[in-house]
Amino acid sequence: MRHTRAHTRNRRSHHALKGASITKCKKCNEPVLPLTLCLNCGTYKDRELIDVLKKLTKRERKQREKEIKEKEKKESKNKPLELSDLSKK
């Protein structure tokens, strides 16, 4: 039996795809799929499961280590700065 156009379109109104839900890595703040190991820093649930630096060449490894150190510095700097700024203002 033939449906009306409205009938068909009403049924199809539920067929749209939803975007993937993306969470942030706790350690490096990189967007990651939920329940998935972070490929940027190799951690999952606060445990380091993959040595990310292993595959890289020496030069790349040095650069990467620098980046990670800078990130950690920024993070450690940001917290006390915010508090001190608040007290100053």
Question: What is the contact surface with Zn ion in residues (CB under 5 A)?
Answer: 25, 27-28, 30, 38, 40-41
Shortest separation between residue 38's beta carbon and Zn ion, angstroms: 3
Pick 23 or 84: Cβ nearer Zn ion? 23
Pick 45 or 79: Cβ nearer Zn ion? 45
DSSP 39: T
DSSP 17: P
CA atoms within 13 A on the CB side of 83: 4
Pick 25 or 50: Cβ nearer Zn ion? 25
Shortest separation between residue 12's beta carbon and Zn ion, angstroms: 39
Alpha-carbon span 19 to 15, nearest angstrom: 13
